[in-house]
Structure 1
C-alpha cells in the first residue's frame, strides 16, 4: 500500500467532504430519475424545507444540535485513538439524570433547572461512557465492542425504568411525568418569532459553546496534548510519562458528557418528559458526522448542519413529492453517510495528484 500524499488542509477538511456529498447527491438523483421524478425539483424542495422558512429552519437547527453533541462525543474519543460507538446509549442514560433533576426541581424557574439538568445529563452520560473506558484501560476490552453492547444494555435498562418505575399510574403511554413549562429548556420561539412552531431551543447555543470548548481542549490544553499523543502512538505516550489508562478513562467520560447534552435538548426541552427511544438514532448519525467532519469541531458543525438539513428537508420532500417515499429519502441519507464515511477517501487519489505536489513543495520550502 502506497503512503498517503499530504494534502492542503482546506482540501482535506473542506473540498474532499464536499465532493463526497456532491457524488452522493448525484447518485441519489439517479435514484429519483428512476422513479420518474425531477431530481432538481427534489433538491429545491429539500433546500426550501430545510432553510426556506422559519419553522423548517428551526427544525434543521434542532436536528443539528443533536448531531453536534453526538459528533463531538465521537470526535473527542477518536483523537485519543478510541472509536466511541456509544453516544446513542450514553445520551439515553443521560435522559434519566435529566428527568430526575427536572422532576425534583419541577416548578422552579428555568434559570435554576436548566444548569442542573446540564450537570445531571453530563454526569449520567459520563458515567455510562466511563465503564467502557475503564474496561479498555484496565481489562483490555475493545472499546468498539463494549460501546456497541452498552447501547443495547441502555435500551433495555431504560425501557424498564421508564415503563415500570417512572411511568405515572394515570398515564397510558410509556413516559415519565411532564416537566412544567416554566422549568423546561426555553424554546427560541419565545425570543424570536422566526422559529415559531419549531422545537429548536437554547441547547443550540450550548452546542456552539461545546464546539469551542472541544477545540480548546484538543489543541490548546495539556490534557488535549496527552490525548493526541495517545492517539498517535500509545507506546511513545507511555514512555513520555503519560498515563494512558487515565487518559482513556477521562476521555471516554468527557465524550459521554457531550453525548448527554442530547438528553438536555430533548428531555429537558423538546419533549418535556422522558419517553422511550427519544434519542432516535442521533447517536449513530454522530459517527458519520464526526468522520465527515474529520474530527475537527468546524467540520463537525458543518456536517451536523448538513445532516440536519437532510433530515428536515427529507420530511418536506416526502410531504411535497408523494412519488418519493420515505424509504427513498432514507436511501439518499444513507448514500451521504456511505460516501462521507465508509468511502470517504475514494476521491482522495485524484486530489493527491492535483494538490499533493504543491503541498510537498510548500513543505520543502519551509
Structure 2
C-alpha cells in the first residue's frame, strides 16, 4: 500500500509549471485521463438524453457511468446519486425539498465547524418554515467539535442534523458516526458534507451513518460537478420543485436542466484515476478505491506531519487549531502580515495557497479571526510531495522579522 507520487504527478499537466500547488482544498488540478475523457466525449459527439440516435445513447451511458463511479467512491447506491453543478446548489435544492415538511416546533441542528454551504441553506430553509435552528459549538482554540453535545442538541423535535466529515480550513475530523447515531435515535435525517473529506481518505457513507452524503468532483481531480448520494427509497419520498414536463424518476427528478455530459465523462474518469493511484490495488473498482485512498491518507499524513513540524519551528508563524485528527490541511497566520500579504508573498515565491475565511464563515468567527482577514490555508493532496512543503516553509522563512 504505497504511492509512486512522481508517477502520479506526471499525469497532471498543470503541475509542470514549477509552482507548489498547495491550493487543493479549494479545488484540485485535473490529470490527463480526465482531460482525455472530456475531450473524447466532445470528439465522439453527444446529444441530450433519451433520444433515438447514437449520440443521445452515448450521453445516457455517460450519465450512468458517472452515477456508478460516484457510488463506488462513497459506498452508495448508483440509483441514489444526484448530480449537479456543485455541492452548494444541490444542498439548497435538498433544503427546499426537505423543508416542505418542516414547520413550527421542528428543529434543525447545524454546526459552527461547517463550510457555510452546509449551514446557510438549512438556516434559511428553517426560517422560511418557522423551524428552530440549534447550533453545535466548536471548542476553541483546538477546533474540535465535541460529539457529546449532540445528546442534548438533538431532541424528539429534530428533523435534520447537518454536519461535516472534515473542516475545510482546520481539517478537523469529528466523530460523525456518534453524531448521526444520535440523529437516527430520534428519527432525524443526517446530511453529511463530505466535500473536504472525500479527497483525503477512504469513504463509506454507511459507516458515517449518512442519509445524504455530499461531495464535489473538483476536489478529487475531476471537473466542476457536485453530487449528493442518498438511498433511493429516501429520495422517493422527496418532492423537489421541477418542471412539469421533466422526469419524475429518482434520481432524475432532482436534476434540473440539461447536464454537462462531457464533464460527467470526466467524473467517471476521475474515479477510475483515484482507484489506480496505488498500482498494487486489486479487485473491484470499489475495492481498489479503498486501497488507493488508504495509501493517499498515509502519504498525506506523512507530509502533513512534516509541514506542521516546519511551521511550528518558525517563530513568526502560528498554526490555527490543533484537532486530534485532521486531514492534510494547515491554517496559519504570520506575525506582522495580513493573510493576503502572506498569500501574495508565497505566490511570488511560486507557492499557491488560499487566504481568508474560505467560506468557513461561522468557524472563523468562533476562532476570533474573521474580521482580521482570517488566515492562510495550505492543503495537501495525493499529488503533493516533499519539495512542495519545503518550498512553502522556505518562502515563509523570508517573512521573519
TM-score, with structure 1 as normaliser: 0.28
The structure with higher relative contact order (CA 8 Å, sep 6+) is: 1
Higher helix share: 1
TM-score, with structure 2 as normaliser: 0.26
Higher strand share: 2
